Chain A
Amino acid sequence: MHRIDCPWCGVRDEIEFAYRGDATVKRPEAGAGVDAFYAYVYERGNPRGWHIEWWHHAAGCRQWIKVLRHTLTHEIRATAKAGDTVTAPKP
Chain B
Amino acid sequence: MSRYSAFQLFVNAFTGHRSWPRAWRDPAPKPAYDVVIVGGGGHGLAAAYYLAKEHGITNVAVVEKGPIGLGNTGRNTTIVRSNYMFPQNHHFYEWSLKLWEGLEQDLNFNAMVSQRGVLGLFHSDAQRQVFARRGNSMRLSGIDAELLDRDQVRAFVPLVDLDNGRFPVMGGLLQRRGGTARHDAVAWGFARAADRRGVDIIQHCEVTGIRVAGNRVQGVETTRGFIGAKKIGLAVAGNTSRLAQMAGISLPIESHVLQAFVSESLKPMIDCVVTFGAGHFYISQSDKGGLVFGGNIDGYNSYAQRGNLPTVEHVWSAGVTMIPALSRVRVLRQWGGVMDMTMDGSPIICRTPVENLYIDGGWCYGGFKATPAAGWCHAHTIARDAPHEFNRHFTIDRFREGLMIDERGAGPSPWLQ
Contact = CB atoms under 8 A, between A and B. Distances in A.
A44 B399 CA distance: 13
A71 B253 CA distance: 14
Given A2-B308, A34-B400, A43-B251, A51 B301 contact: yes
B8 to A, nearest CB: 44
Contacts of B309: 1
Contacts of A38: 399-400
B241 A44 contact: yes
A73 B302 CA distance: 9
Nearest to B396: A42
Interface of B: 239, 241-242, 250-255, 299-304, 308-310, 343, 399-400, 412-415
Interface string A1-24: 110000000000111000101100
Contact of A44 (B252, B299, B304, B308): B252
Given A43-B250, A44-B241, A46-B255, A74 B413 contact: no
A44 B253 contact: yes
| Majority DSSP secondary structure for residues of B touching A | mixed
A32 interface: no
Given A38-B400, A39-B250, A73-B304, A48 B255 contact: yes
Interface of A: 1-2, 13-15, 19, 21-22, 34, 38-39, 41-46, 48, 51, 53, 69, 71-74
Contacts of B301: 21-22, 46, 51, 53, 71
- Most A Cβ at <10 Å: residue of B301, B399, B412, B414: B301
A53 B250 CA distance: 18
A73 B305 CA distance: 10
B409 to A, nearest CB: 16
A42 B415 contact: no
B308 A1 contact: yes
B411 to A, nearest CB: 9
Nearest 4 CB-CB pairings of A with B = A42-B252, A46-B241, A48-B303, A19-B300
B362 to A, nearest CB: 12
Nearest to B241: A46
A39 B343 CA distance: 12
A35 B250 CA distance: 12
Nearest to A73: B304
Contact of B399 (A42, A45, A53): A42
A14 B304 contact: no
A71 B302 CA distance: 4
Nearest to A51: B301
Contacts of A51: 301
B242 A48 contact: yes
B195 to A, nearest CB: 31
Contact of B252 (A15, A43, A48, A74): A43
Contacts of B304: 71-74
Contacts of A42: 252, 343, 399-400, 412
Nearest to A37: B400
A2 B310 CA distance: 9
B344 to A, nearest CB: 9
Contacts of A73: 304
